[in-house]
Every structure is written in structure tokens, then in C-alpha cells.
């Protein structure tokens, strides 16, 4: 029955197209001239009249622009041949109607642009006809039949996707605005755009009046269509939110995020203000920052063009432009974003959002030539003024390599809610997280880290438990394992106390706290240090982790010294996992494999780990050596008698195979109060399956030892296989750079200034 | 103590070098002239006097040659700076003394070549000094202290590696032969080369007098040094083996392979004759073929140069040159060899052995321009006449792409012992094995297959259980799991009856049999078919598998139809696994995950599989959909009520993590006599983690059904989601291409000629 309806609908549309087209084209030129005499010119949001002229002049002269244009033209020409389908909404993401409406808005925006640049009316006709089909459908729609969302849309199962639609479609409308007849504009605005904007704002204050990436999309959607229609009432709502919303504090969305927070400003400007730190870090993490960047920047561009007096790119000291630099720095060697919090792996600066971000940041942010090299890698540009600017910069040979270096991004609106620190050297990248909760997409993983080499994960952050838009897996939405596994502390490379997650895994608690940054020092090639404290994850327990990237000239690669100091009022069990990827080669400790793996625990993520094998440590060092991508790695850890060394694997209680069956190595200290977990992680060798030579297959660390540890200082002695002994000392209470320290270790005085030192002992 | 000895030894060597060098260089030129007046000129084996002249003339003119030369020069110059170390043998592969002696022979060969090409005496001095050190050490050596091998060497733990050493070192000796003083040659030959050759031949008949890749190396080692020394007695042993060996029939080596077989010819020529089929397929499989190719071809080249009257390249209709083509065709898109039998994954035509093979095949095999494109990928050439020839071909622009196509390689000395069939289309490669046992490196996997897309394994062949030369893992040697897991039938994508391996997993039985090829038809782009029978794996049970690559024009990729017909005199349990790689997305059947995985069985490899989940099938189709490398795959299988659908994973009873923890999907039919396993395997869609679009995520097969099955014919009806119905019929008893068939299915007559047909039904 539904199929039949759809088919009838299709026939109607085709009939409409044929009928209307034949009598209409002639009138359009006249009409366009009339429209020009109205107050606001069109296009004006992203494409501008002036920009379009400049683009037309450059056609055929700028390879990257021409290539981008040809790709878009080929795509849209194929779509026009396929015909228009505006199905009755039915599916979750991944399903047909969802994917079709998603495709429609992407196609509309591109067709609008082609009309402007190529001056071929077939594109305007196509945009008009599809918009008219939506104008016919929209008034008939109830809320979407799928009930999963706290804010159901009409075209899609959530207002978020409806907002996506409007952000793109507004641009298409802007492109054909002048070409349309006045009565056509009236139909579109009255039957489609205004009710659409009202529904996602007044109709869904719980969605629109928040500080959240959802609301950003909502605000921008309303703002974009307001700018096209020159509708100041809607624009005010977009910028400053709804004046009244009747929302009660404490309400939560279906991801568990707060909807209403006391004293919270709302609207687009508040959404710029709040989640971005002064360094341009977006508190949800880079995956969502990427997602949010598109509406932030596209609306900023539109505002800059239509309302230049707002000086949006200077807002909060240019934070929107800084955010683009931050995002690029939050990616690995291949441009893939570090999957902090709810991040899906594989998302990268090759995404369409980052093409937008890079081009806009280049054009409006002072023409940084390093951005051109990213645009070259993306190998496409926006078909607008910003894209033209990038294409010309590349043509003129201005591109310079984007130098990613060690960098710390502060979190929080004022930059005082912890940070994410990235230490880089050679092919190694260490990502250390000591930030705020990250709103509803945050994970409970204070002081966690991940390690990359050459763009590959070596010690992984699991990321989210979701297959975005893959319908087979929970409709492409968050899987229940995202809460039961991916967000839990034990899923991360940090300490878990007594098998409970940080802040008891409760968002209400976690969102009140953040870690404290303590040291970030990256000036010295021999030793770079990031250090931070977490005092609230477990009441009564203090966590202080110091990670150092140390480059001993005897060896090719630097190694990572990891010092996790735990002090507690009570005796506890502490687990520190290393989610290594690859195949275990050898350990220096004995372990017993279980005949049949059993879940490692019952709750808080432990129920998803299979315990595969157990070793019991002696006083000294435990070594764990593995192979990944034909590289040899080792973890060397200081152990005490009775520490448990657990080999485990993700996948227990995962009846639908929603989780990846990947391994971990866990160091467990039981019934302990104050402890220091000290490890060295090395990338020390490689293997060629072609020559079958194994080079430096073994750890280069002979011994590590905690030679001093009290409230004030922790000192580690490191001895390499070549016999070199070094001492690393960190001050636990004083991080002033100029402070002088003196400490007696094994009857020898050690003197230094600043919060840490690395000394050669022989 | 051993360290001290080594140091003293080093000092002695250095003293020797200084002493000898000073008084010697002057004499050498005179000496070289003298030597020329002897019977045989030098170099003559691989480099020839004429070739060296030609090379010198081309220096600086052939980029790939110059680059190869520069790389070798840089390597050897660095080695000369490091100094010579000839340690007392002690370690297994992966250990220091093993790797050092291995490096030494590679370096010696290269230094010899550099001396010839660059005419710089420092290389000759280096070769001489190292050989002298060996001549001093060798007479003092007992057999190697490691006792693992059935044929222990002196420098290495097995004669095999000693033979490697002599094959390379002979070339170095040839290069400096004329430059050496006569008394130096006498010392080297009497103290080193002759006793060395005697030890690996007369001293180890169980190693030397076989048909096996070990013996090939042994024969060639003796043959190469024989050619340099012009020693006919040794040459005869090399070519025809030892006349007497006192070996008893039934003896086995430590891999379980037979040593003495009744009536077996031995020596190099027998080793060309026996393991190579007329198509150039080497019965052990491509990994060992690659390993063996070096001695085969390098000795063939030397024989061709020194004893052209033997016409070695024409031997057995040019099989040695055909073998190079076969090897390239036995690799995936990235040039990695299919890991049939004991093959380590990652080995490819980028190995040094294949550089040798490709260059020699080009130079001596009629200058096939397709080989030049492989040489271009290898990006290096041999520094000899063959390499020069390739470099000139490339320089002259003669290279053409190597077109890998569907191809069948017969097995057995006469090509009548089954075959390996490869069906290719687009990015898909299906490898179907119905060959002979493959000597001691064979696996018990008659009628098994593996599937590749775009160079990635989709349904894998596990390969061997070994980490070659990675000392941490069993000294880099075969792991016990190679026997208990990798060789067993259940480790492969074929049928296992009653949880026992083919031929009871016994080499004595397996080596007496081979599968029978039945159809190989690759002329038609719409349907390519390979079909074979195995009648001996399970006495009383016949196996007949037909695999077809069918390209329905409605879809981008072809799909694989897999028909495994089993007929038995008794009721049995049959398991057919699919070792898919990637993440399960969805099944159309219910299954229950076990809370705690248990071993799937007790023996024959089953003890290494964890049973993770179990479903029970109904009449109809079971669908299994998964994601790998951002591509969607499905298996659709015809099932009967009560068939078990088992989700399992490798890794049970693997206390040392010697196995990769990879998954499998097993279809089990219990208490069945005659059955047909029918499946379709599709690569039907893809996912972009950047755009987050999932395209064609679901199987395109609506239904498959066995519509006819008896002793004579099996017919499968296939219906796609687009409603197209096709019929595939295979004749089970008559594979004559011209035979006409008529069959009535569902009251309709189907008429065709040849052993199979594919008909459109609507």
C-alpha cells in the first residue's frame, strides 16, 4: 500500500514537472530582473553575486576548482536523470527514506550552486521542482513515526536531521531565489520553510534551546533560512534562542545529556561561546567538532556576508577560525580524528565538513598557506568564494606543509577545565586526555591516553559503540553497548578503582568536574612532558598521571614513560589496562590461560571483557612484547609481588557482535592504598614478511624502578640494554617553571629547576 | 667465556687483515692476469666477463640499475665499516649467530658483485677476509648445538641454511677468484668449500638425496661451488644425487615428510622434474616455490653460462621459466602469494627471490615485456647480465602491464594430480585448491578455497602457524599449532566429516592421493566455473565442489556460487566453515551466544576453535552479512531444518597466543548421508566512514534453492532482489565439453551442451 502511494506520488511529480516546465521557462528571465530590484540581492549567503562573477571568470583556469565542479556536475546530472523522489518518512538512519531525504538536501545545495555558476536553468528547475514536492508533502506530515528521539523531526526521526536538511536547502533556495516567481517563493515559504523553521524551534524547544551540537544545527537551520528570507524574527531566535521555552531543569535527552541548565544562555552565539575553549577545542571532542563545524562555519560565512556588522569571525577572539586549526591538529598522520569520547574511527579531514572548514578558514582567516596543503590533500574545494580563494592560492603555489606538532588544547569556555595534550615526535603521536566531561557524548576516562605510530593505532581508544548509518546495527544509531561498554572507564587506558567507572559513570556527577592540567612542556626534543591530575573521579582518591616522550639518542624512536600516581584514603583495587592492537609475541612473566574464558566482572564494562589468561607478578618488571603492522612493541611495567597481570579480550556479553573482539593487557593492584603505576612503552623494531628479517625484536629497556616516591616527588630510574641509566623526577605539588628543587635519592643529591627533570646517571 | 673467545677471534681477524692487506694488494694485478690463463674464466656463473663489460659501459645510463647498484653499495660500504664478525654458531633462527651468518652470505655475494662492477679492491679484500675467517672457523666446528633438525648443519641449526650460505658464497668466490692468490684459493677450497660441500652431501644424505626444497638448496649449493671450482665430481652429485645413501624407505624428517621414496630419482634434475608440474606449479605451493625458485634459477643461470650444452632452460619444456609466470599468477592484486599449504602471509613478488626470478625469466625466457612491469614494481634489478637486460628493457619503454587472469595450474610431475584454479573478475580473486598433498608442507584441505577482493583477504586461508625468524615465537620455527591447527581440515574452507581431517590427517595416506580436476572454464565473462572431485579424503565418501563466478549485469560485482556435493555410504556429520574476516553485521537467523565460549571439539583442530554462538536453521536460506575494510559482504546458504549454524573463533587451547583470534561461520549438517552445501558469496556494498553513507549494505540475493539433485545433475535456482531468476546446472558425471544434456526440472525441459549451464528463467 505504501509502495503504491509512493508510486502514484512519483507519477504526479513527473506530470507536474512536465506541465510546469513547458509554460514557465520563458517567464523566468523577466522575473529574475524583477527580483533584483527587491531589497536584498541573491545569492548572498555562501555564494555572492560578486563571487559568482569572479568564479565564472576563472572557469577552466584553476585545476582543483574545475575538478570539483566537474565532479559535482557529474553527480547532479546523474541525479536529474534519475528523477525526483520525496518519499513519505518512515525509516531510521540507514533506511531508505532517511538516506533519500539526506541525499536530497545534499543534492539540492549542489544543484543550486551549479545553476549559479553554469547558468543552466535545468538546475534551477530541478531545485524548484524538488522544493515544491517538499512544500506539498510537508504540511501533510505528522511527527516522524519512529519514536526513539527526545525531539522527533518530520522528515527524519530526529529534529537534528531535519535541521541538517534546512541548512543545506536554504542555500539552494538562495541560489534560485531570484529566478523563482514571487508566488512560488510565497508557496515555498508559507508551506515549507516557515512552518519548518517554527517546528524545529518553537515546536521543539527541548531541541532548540540548548548548548549542544543538536541545537547548533537547529539554530543555524533557522538562521540560514531567516537570512535568505530576510526574516529578522527568525534570525533573532537563531542568534539568541527562544525567549520562553517552558523547559524544566534536569530534563535529559535520549543520550542522557541535560536539556536545561540553570542560567544557560541559548541560541547560536551561546553555542559558540560555551562549548569552544579559547584554543578552539570543542568539548565533545573532534568527531562531533567536525560535525558541528559545518553549521558553525557555514552560518558564520552567511552572517559575514549578509550581516558583516556582527563581525562573527572575530567573535570570542576568532574562536571559529582557531577551531579549524585545532581540528586538524586533533587528527593522526592520515588526517583521521582521534576518537575521543563518542567518535567513530575513520572520520577525517577528508570529510565534506572539513572541506568547508578549511576553505572558509583560509578565505576568512588570513590565508594561512598551511591550510592549502590540507586542501590539496582533500583534492576538492567549495564551489563558492572561499573555494575560489583556495583554488587560486594553490594555483599560485602558495601551499606549505601543515606542521602538526606537540600541542595542548585547553577545554572549557574559559580554558580552565582541563585539556587534551598531544605529544608528537617522529611517527609517534601520544594523545592524553585530561579534559571536561564533553557533554552527553563524553566518556568516563579521565587521564586516559592512546598511542599512534605512522597513522596506525598502537594502543587504542575504543571510540564509540555504533556503526553510524549502518542500518543492520541498531538502525545505525548508538548501540546499547555504547553505554555499557564504550563509555565506561575500563574501556579506556586509564585507572579504574574497584571495578567502578569514574564519577560512578553518572553524567550528573561527571559534568560537574574536570581534570586539572599540571605540566605541558614540549620545547625540548629529548623529553616532552604532559601531566595532569584528577581529584574527583573517585572521592577520597587522587590520580596524577605524567606521560613523557623521551628520546634516547642510542635508539631511533623515543619511548613513552607513563607514571600514574594514585593516592587514596582507603585500600582499593586498581586496574590499568593497555588496549594494544596486534599479536602477543612474548611476556617475561608466566601466565595461565583459562581453558574457557569468563567475563572479567559483572558491571561497568567489566561484563564485556573476557578474562583469557592470568599471571601473578613478582617484584621487578613485567614485560609484554607484541607485533602490529610488522612493528615490534613492548610495555615494561614496574610490578610488586602479587600484582595480577590479566590478558583479556573485548566481546563478553555481546550477543549481537556489536563489539570488536580486540585484546587488552591489564595490570591489577589489589588491596592497595597509595600506588604508582610506572610503565615504559616502546616501538623498538620491525619485521619484513618479504625479507623475513626481524630487527630489534626485543625491548631496549633493561630495567625501570621507582627510586623515590612521596607526596612531593616521584623519581624513576631507567636503565637501557646499552647500559645507560637515566633518572626522571616529577614534582607532585609544584608546577612552577622557575622553582628550584633539591632531592636526595640513594644518598645522591639531585638538583634542578622546574616541575620535572631528566638526568643522565652514567 | 664464549664472549671472550669471540673477542679474541675478532682481534685475530683484524690483525690478519692489516698484516695481509699491506703486503698483498701489489701482487694482485699480476696474479689476476695469471689466473686468466687458466682453463675457466671468472666470473662465469652469474656475472660473466662479457656481462661485466656491458654493465660498466651502461653505468649512469639506466636509472633502475644505477639505483639498485647505489643501494647495494651503500649497504655494503656500511657493512665494511662495521667490520667482520664470524661468530661461533649457537642460535636458532631469529637469534644472533643465525642472523649474522645469514647476513654474512648475503653481504658476501653483494660485495663480490661490487668488486666486479666497480673494480674497487676494497670489496675483494672484504670478501677474501671474511671467507678466510670462515676457512679458519669451519674446520673447528662440530655439528650445530641445536638439535631440532633431522639434518643439522654446522654454521646453522639445519643443513638447509648451510646450503643457503654456500649458494650465495659461491657467487662471491667466483667474483674474486681471479683476484685471489692460488694459495688463497687452495686454503679456501681445502679448508672450507670442499669439506662444506661434502658435509651437506655425503655427510647428510637424508638431506641431500631427496625431492624436496631442502635438497634443491643442497644440490644447488654443491653445484654452484662445483662450477666455480670446475669440480666435475661435485657437479655430478649436484645434478644426479649421491649414488649410495644407505637411507631406508619410510624415514621421515622433522616436518613429517618422507625422506626416502621407492624408485625416487634424486639430485637437481630430479628436483626440477618431480615437484614442478608441466604448468610450472610447484607442489608445495607458492610460498615454498618462491623460496625454491632462487636456487633453481640461479643454478640454471650458472649452468646455462658454464655448461650451455645442458640446455637447462629448455629442460621439461622450459618448466623453470613457466614457473616464474605461475608464481606471479599465484599472487593477489598486491603481489602477495596465496598462502596455500605452509605459506606465511605477506610474502610477495617483492622478495629478493622474485627479483632474481623475474630478471632471469626475462633475460633467458624471451624478453616477455609483461615481466618488465613487475620489475618496475620491484624497483630494483639484479646486478648482473639479467638485471642489465631488464634495466635496458625498461629504459627502452618496453614494459607492459602483467595481466593476471583466470587460470588453472595442474599439479604433479605430469600434470595429472589435480590442480589449483584461480577465477578472477574485477577486483575479486577466488583461489580453489584441488591439488596433490604438497609434500611435507601440505595441508589437509582438499577442495578448499579462499576469496580476495582488491588484494585483501575476505574469506581467508589461515596459512601456516609460524612467525618465520621471529625468535620470540618458538625460535622463529614451525609452532606446534602448525600441526594441531593450521594443517587440519577444519582450519580451511572445505568440508570436514565427523570432526576428522582428510586422510585422517596422515601424511602417509594423503601423499598417495590427489583430487581430480573436473571443469575449468574461464572463457565466458558471465560465468566462469571451476569444479573438482575428491574421492579419497574420506573412504566411502565422495566430495564434489563446483565454484562459479557469476556476473549478473544488474549488479557491479560478480557473486560466487559454491556447490559442495557430498555423497556417502554412511550417515555422518559434515562441517563447512567460512573463515570470513571482519565484523558480523547481521544474520537472518536467530542464534544464542554462549555466556562462556567452549572449545568446539577435542581433536583435529577443533580444540583450537571457540564455539561462541549457535543457531539452528530452518528450511530455506541462512544469511550472514558482514563488514570488512568498509565493504559489505554476505553469504547466503541453503539450509535444512536442524542444520546448525555455528559462530566460532580461533584461539582455544592456545596458551601462548600463537594463533590469530579470527572468526568463522560454520554450517553443520548432522547425521546426514548425501547432502549438497550450496552458498552464494557476495561483495555487494560499501561504507564510507568519511561521508557516513552505507551503499548496498544488504545481500542482493533473494533466494537460492536446490531444484534438482541426483547422481547425474545438480541444479540451483537463484533469485535476485531485482526479481531475476537464473538456473545453474552442473553435470556430476560427464565433463565432456561437447556433450549435449537434457533435464526436466519442475516440468520444464532444460537443454544445453557441456558440463554446466547458466540459464535465465524470466
CATH number at residue A656: 2.70.98.70
> b or e along A651-672 (b: 16 or more beta carbons within 10 Å of the residue's beta carbon)?
bbbbebbbbbbbbbbbbbbeeb
Query: Which of A16-20, A550-554, B269-273, B425-429 is predicted least confidently?
Result: A16-20
Provide Rg for chain A, Cα atoms: 28
Contact list in A for residue B634 (CB cut-off 8 A) is: none
B595/A596 Cβ within 8 A: no
**Residue B258 confidence (pLDDT):** 75
**Which one of B123, B134, B173, B288 is the catalytic residue?**
B288
- Tell me the C-alpha distance between B484 and B606, whole Å: 9
Residue A94 makes CB contacts below 8 A (sequence gap 6+) with A469, A470, A471, A472, A475, A476, B694, B697
Residues of chain A positioned with their CB less than 8 A from the CB of B99? 693
Q: How many CB atoms lie within 10 A of CB B49?
A: 13
Neighboring chain B residues of A94 at a CB cutoff of 8 Å: 694, 697
* CB-based contacts of A150-153 (< 8 A; 24+ apart in sequence): A150/A206, A150/A207, A150/A252, A150/A253, A150/A254, A150/A259, A151/A204, A151/A206, A151/A207, A151/A214, A151/A253, A153/A200
Q: Give the CA-trace dihedral at B41, B43, B48, B54, to 10 degrees.
A: -110
Phi/psi for A237 (5° steps) reads -60, -40
Within-domain flag for B59: no
E strands along A180-232, which residues?
none
Backbone angles phi, psi at B596, to 5 degrees: -130, 120
Q: Beta B675-687 vs B694-695: how paired, if at all?
A: antiparallel
In a domain, A666, yes or no: yes
Residue A62 lies in a domain: no
| Optimal mutation site among A464, A694, A698, interface B, most CBs of chain B within 10 A | A694
All 3 cell numbers of residue B65?
A: 640499475
* 3-state helix/strand/coil string of B237-254: HHHHCCCCCCCCCCCECC
Q: What is the dihedral of CA A81, A84, A87, A89, to 10 degrees?
A: 100
* A655 and A514 co-located in one domain: yes
Q: Binning pLDDT at 50, 70 and 90, where does residue B90 land?
A: very high
Same domain, A571 and A426: yes
Mean pLDDT of chain B: 93
- Return the number of CB contacts < 8 Å for A and B: 118
Same domain, A375 and A415: no
- On whether any CB of chain A is under 8 Å from the CB of B541, the answer is no
How far A653 CA sits from the closest chain B CA (Å)? Answer: 7
CA distances from B751 to A296, B166, B743, B757 (A): 66, 63, 7, 9
Residue B403, SS3?
Answer: coil
d(C-alpha A183, C-alpha B614), whole Å: 63
Residue A65 lies in a domain: no
Domain final position from B705, B728, B752 = B705
Spell out the long-range contacts of A7-14 with Cβ–Cβ below 8 A and sequence spacing 24 or more: A9/A86, A9/A87, A9/A88, A10/A83, A10/A85, A13/A83, A13/A84, A13/A86, A13/A129, A13/A133, A14/A83
- Give the pLDDT mean for B29-39: 47
Q: Cell match 566537474: residue? A: A70
Model pLDDT, residue B7:
52
In order, the DSSP letters of B3-24 are: HHHHHHHHHHHHHHHHHHHHHH
- Residue B210 pLDDT > 80: yes
In DSSP terms, which residues pair with B730 in a beta bridge? B714, B756
Q: How far apart are CA A453 and CA B627, in angstroms?
A: 25
Residue B617 lies in a domain: yes
Read off the pLDDT band of B31 (50, 70, 90).
very low
Q: Which of B101, B144, B363, B441 is catalytic?
A: B441
Do A434 and A365 have their domain in common? no
Q: What is the mean pLDDT of residues A680-703?
A: 96
Domain enclosing residue A458, as ranges: 407-760
Query: What is the interface pTM, i.e. ipTM, of the complex?
Result: 0.89
Which residues 157-216 of A have a C-beta within 8 angstroms of B?
A: none
> CA–CA separation, A112 vs A119, rounded Å?
10
Beta carbons within 10 angstroms of residue A674's beta carbon: 15
Clarify whether residues A156 and A225 are in a common domain. Answer: yes
User: Taking a contact as any Cβ pair under 8 Å apart, which residues of chain A between 614 and 673 contact chain B?
Assistant: 625, 627, 630, 647, 649, 652-655, 657, 660-661, 663
Select from B194, B170, B230, B220 the least CA-distant residue to B41: B230
- The answer on A288 and A268 residing in a single domain is no
Asked if the model's pLDDT at residue A542 lies above 80, the reply is yes
A270 and A282 share one domain = no
Flag whether pLDDT at A561 surpasses 70.
Answer: yes
Partners of residue B661 in chain A, C-beta under 8 Å: 649, 661, 663
Query: Residues of A with CB below 8 A from B473's CB?
Result: 585-586
Residue A683 has pLDDT above 80, yes or no: yes
Q: From the list A350, A472, A694, which residue is nearest B625 (CB)?
A: A472
- CA–CA distance, A228 with B540 (Å, rounded to integer): 80
Residue where a domain stops, chosen among B404, B435, B454: B404
Residues counted in chain B: 762
Most A CBs within 10 A among B110, B380, B693, B699, hence the mutation to make, goes to B693
Predicted confidence (pLDDT) at residue A27 exceeds the cutoff of 60: no
The band of B552, judged by pLDDT with boundaries at 50, 70 and 90, is very high
Q: Using CA coordinates, name the residue in chain A closest to B588.
A: A472
Count CA atoms closer than 13 A to B490's CA, side-chain side.
Answer: 33
Residue entry with cell 531468476: B725
Residues of A designated as active site: 288, 441
Q: Model confidence at B11, in pLDDT bands (50, 70, 90)? A: very low
Q: Is the same domain home to A378 and A416?
A: no
Nearest chain B alpha carbon to A336: B690
Dihedrals φ, ψ of A611, to 5°?
A: -80, 120
Q: What whole-number distance in Å separates Cα of residue A633 and Cα of residue B665?
A: 32
Nearest to A251 by CA among A212, A286, A301, A293: A212
A690, A691, A695, A696, best to mutate vs chain B, most B CBs in 10 Å? A690
Sign of CA dihedral A197, A200, A205, A208: negative
User: In Å, how far are A623, A724, B575 from A635, measured between CA atoms?
Assistant: 6, 19, 41
Whether residue B654 lies inside any domain: the answer is: yes
pLDDT tops 60 at residue A35: no
B602 close contact with A: CB closer than 8 A = no
Q: How far is A479 from chain B (nearest CA, A)?
A: 13
The pLDDT tens digits for A427-442 are 999 999 999 999 889 9
The predicted structure's pLDDT at residue B253: 78
Residue A600 forms contact with B (CB below 8 Å):
no
CB contact, 8 Å: B697 with chain A? Answer: yes
Pairwise CA distance, residues B166 & B218, whole Å: 9
pLDDT tens profile B364-381: 999 999 999 999 999 999
CB of B513 closer than 8 Å to CB of B412: no
Render B271-327 in DSSP notation, one character per residue.
HHHTTB-TTS-BTT-HHHHHHHHHHHHHHHHHHHHH-GGG-GGGHHHHHHHHHHHHH
Rounded distance between C-alpha atoms, residue B582 and residue B559, angstroms: 18
Q: In the prediction, which pLDDT does B246 show?
A: 79
- Determine the average pLDDT of the residues in B717-721: 98
pLDDT band at A90 (very low <50, low <70, confident <90, very high): very high
Nearest CA in chain B to A594: B655
Same domain, B395 and B476: no
Confidence of residue B40 (pLDDT cuts 50, 70, 90): confident
Q: What is the pLDDT of residue A7?
A: 52
Are B661 and A661 a contacting pair at CB < 8 A? yes
Choose the final residue of a domain: A372, A404, A436: A404
For residues A55 and A48, the answer to whether their CB atoms sit within 8 Å is: no
Q: Quick one: average pLDDT of B578-597?
A: 97
Instruction: Answer whether residue A4 is part of any domain.
Output: no
- CB-side neighbour CA atoms (13 Å) of A572: 21
DSSP string, B420-444: EEEEEETTEEEEEEE-B--GGG--S
In a shared domain, residues A331 and A383: yes
In which residue are the cell numbers 632531592 written?
Answer: A743
**Chain A residues with beta carbon closer than 8 angstroms to that of B472:** 585-586, 625, 697-698
Sign of CA dihedral B388, B394, B398, B400: positive
d(CA B661, CA A582) in angstroms, rounded, equals: 10
Nearby residues of A225 by Cβ (< 8 Å), 6 or more positions away: A166, A169, A170, A173, A193, A196, A197, A231, A234
CA atoms within 13 A on the CB side of A36: 7
Domain with residue A282: its CATH number is: 1.50.10.100
Q: How many distinct structural domains can be found in chain A? A: 3
Residues A277 and A285 sit within 8 Å (Cβ to Cβ): no
Strand order in the sheet with B713-720: B701-709, B713-720, B725-731, B756-760
* Catalytic site includes residue B441: yes
Task: Report the Cα B729 to chain-centroid distance in Å.
Answer: 34
Residue from the list B99, B472, B691 with its beta carbon closest to the beta carbon of A625: B472
- Partner-chain contact B472 A586, CB within 8 Å: yes
Q: Which residue has the cell 540548548?
A: A210
Q: Quick check: B271 pLDDT over 90?
A: yes
Cβ proximity of A114 and A107 under 8 Å: no
Q: Which of B469, B596, B660 sits opposite A694 (nearest CB)?
A: B469
In terms of domains, do B440 and B508 share one? yes
Q: What is the pLDDT of residues A630-653, one digit of tens each?
A: 999 999 999 999 999 999 999 999
Q: Which residues contact B381 (CB under 8 A, 6 or more apart)?
A: B64, B65, B68, B355, B359, B375, B387, B388, B390, B391
- A153 with A295, same domain: the answer is no
Residue A674 lies in a domain: yes
> In 3-state terms, what secondary structure has residue B670?
strand
Average pLDDT, chain A: 93
From A81's Cα to the closest Cα of chain B, the distance in A is 18
Residue A375's φ and ψ, nearest 5 degrees, are -60, -35
Amino acid at each position: 500500500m505504501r509502495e503504491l502511494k509512493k508510486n502514484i506520488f512519483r507519477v504526479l511529480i513527473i506530470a507536474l514537472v512536465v506541465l510546469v516546465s513547458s509554460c514557465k521557462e520563458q517567464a523566468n528571465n523577466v522575473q529574475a530582473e524583477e527580483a533584483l530590484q527587491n531589497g536584498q540581492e541573491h545569492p548572498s549567503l555562501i555564494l555572492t553575486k560578486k563571487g559568482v562573477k569572479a568564479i565564472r571568470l576563472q572557469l577552466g583556469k584553476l585545476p582543483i576548482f574545475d575538478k570539483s565542479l566537474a565532479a559535482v556536475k557529474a553527480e547532479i546530472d546523474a541525479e536529474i536523470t534519475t528523477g525526483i523522489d520525496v518519499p513519505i518518512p518512515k525509516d531510521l538512519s540507514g533506511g531508505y527514506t532517511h538516506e533519500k531525504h539526506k541525499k536530497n538536501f545534499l543534492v539540492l545545495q549542489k544543484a543550486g550552486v551549479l545553476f549559479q555558476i553554469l547558468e543552466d536553468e535545468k538546475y534551477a528547475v530541478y531545485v524548484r521542482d524538488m522544493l515544491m514536492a517538499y512544500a506539498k508533502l510537508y504540511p501533510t506530515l505528522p511527527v516522524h513515526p519512529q519514536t526513539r528521539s527526545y525531539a522527533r523531526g518530520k522528515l527524519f526521526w530526529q529534529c537534528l536531521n531535519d535541521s541538517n536538511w534546512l541548512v543545506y536547502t536554504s542555500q539552494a533556495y538562495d541560489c534560485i531565489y531570484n529566478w523563482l516567481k514571487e508566488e512560488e517563493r510565497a508557496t515555498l515559504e508559507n508551506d515549507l520553510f516557515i512552518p519548518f523553521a517554527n517546528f524545529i524551534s518553537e515546536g521543539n524547544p527541548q531541541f532548540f534551546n540548548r548548548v549542544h551540537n543538536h541545537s547548533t544545527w537547529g539554530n543555524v537551520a533557522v538562521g540560514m533560512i531567516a537570512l535568505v528570507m530576510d526574516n529578522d524574527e527568525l534570525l533573532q531566535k537563531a542568534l539568541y534562542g527562544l525567549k520562553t521555552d517552558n523547559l524544566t531543569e534536569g530534563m535529559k535527552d535520549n543520550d542522557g545529556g541535560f536539556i536545561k541548565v540553570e542560567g544557560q544562555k541559548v541560541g547560536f552565539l551561546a553555542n559558540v561561546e560555551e562549548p569552544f575553549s579559547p584554543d578552539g577545542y570543542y568539548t565533545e571532542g573532534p568527531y562531533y567538532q567536525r560535525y558541528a563545524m559545518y553549521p558553525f562555519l557555514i552560518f558564520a560565512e552567511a552572517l559575514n556576508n549578509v550581516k558583516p556588522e556582527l563581525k562573527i569571525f572575530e567573535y570570542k577572539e576568532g574562536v571559529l577560525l582557531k577551531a579549524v586549526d585545532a581540528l586538524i591538529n586533533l587528527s593522526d598522520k592520515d588526517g583521521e580524528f582521534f576518537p575521543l569520547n563518542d567518535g567513530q574511527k575513520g572520520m577525517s579531514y577528508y570529510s565534506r565538513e572539513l572541506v568547508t572548514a578549511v576553505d572558509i578558514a583560509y578565505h576568512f582567516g588570513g590565508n594561512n598557506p598551511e591550510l592549502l596543503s590540507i586542501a590539496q590533500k582533500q583534492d576538492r574545494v567549495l564551489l563558492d568564494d572561499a573555494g575560489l580563494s583556495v583554488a587560486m592560492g594553490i594555483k599560485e603555489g602558495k601551499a606549505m606543509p601543515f606542521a602538526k606538532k606537540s600541542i595542548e588544547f585547553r577545554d572549557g569556555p574559559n580554558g580552565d577545565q582541563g585539556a587534551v595534550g598531544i605529544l608528537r615526535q617522529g611517527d609517534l603521536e601520544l594523545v592524553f586526555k585530561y579534559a571536561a566531561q564533553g557533554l552527553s557524548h563524553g566518556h568516563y576516562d579521565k587521564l586516559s591516553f592512546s598511542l599512534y605510530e605512522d597513522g596506525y593505532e598502537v594502543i587504542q581508544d575504543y571510540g564509540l559503540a555504533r556503526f553510524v548509518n549502518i542500518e543492520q546495527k541498531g538502525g545505525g544509531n548508538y548501540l546499547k553497548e555504547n553505554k555499557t561498554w564504550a563509555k565506561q572507564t575500563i574501556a579506556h587506558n586509564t585507572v579504574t578503582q574497584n571495578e567502578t567507572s569514574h564519577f560512578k559513570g553518572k553524567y550528573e556527577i561527571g559534568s560537574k568536574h574536570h581534570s586539572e592540567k599540571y605540566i605541558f612542556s614540549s620545547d625540548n626534543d629529548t623529553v616532552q612532558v604532559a601531566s595532569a591530575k584528577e581529584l574527583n573521579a573517585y572521592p577520597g582518591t587522587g590520580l596524577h598521571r605524567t606521560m613523557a616522550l623521551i628520546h634516547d639518542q642510542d635508539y631511533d624512536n623515543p619511548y613513552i614513560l607513563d607514571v600514574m600516581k594514585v593516592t587514596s584514603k582507603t585500600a582499593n583495587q586498581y586496574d590499568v589496562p593497555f588496549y594494544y592492537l596486534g599479536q602477543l609475541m612474548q611476556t617475561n612473566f608466566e601466565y595461565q590461560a583459562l581453558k574457557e574464558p569468563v567475563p572479567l566482572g559483572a558491571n561497568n564494562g567489566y561484563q564485556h571483557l573476557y578474562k583469557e589468561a592470568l599471571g601473578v607478578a613478582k617484584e621487578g618488571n613485567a614485560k609484554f612484547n607484541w607485533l602490529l603492522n610488522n612493528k615490534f612493541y613492548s610495555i615494561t611495567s614496574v610490578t610488586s609481588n602479587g600484582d595480577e597481570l590479566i590478558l583479556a579480550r573485548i566481546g563478553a556479553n555481546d550477543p549481537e557482535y556489536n563489539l570488536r573482539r580486540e585484546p587488552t593487557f591489564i595490570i591489577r593492584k589489589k588491596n592497595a592504598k597509595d600506588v604508582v603505576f610506572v610503565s615504559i612503552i616502546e616501538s623498538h623494531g620491525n619485521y619484513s614478511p618479504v625479507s623475513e628479517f626481524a630487527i630489534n625484536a626485543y625491548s631496549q629497556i633493561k630495567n625501570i624502578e621507582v627510586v623515590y616516591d612521596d607526596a612531593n616527588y616521584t623519581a624513576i630510574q631507567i636503565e637501557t640494554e646499552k647500559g645507560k641509566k637515566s633518572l626522571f623526577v616529577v614534582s607532585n605539588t609544584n608546577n612552577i617553571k622557575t622553582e628550584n628543587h633539591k632531592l636526595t635519592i640513594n644518598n645522591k643529591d639531585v638538583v634542578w629547576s622546574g616541575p620535572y627533570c631528566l638526568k643522565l646517571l652514567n
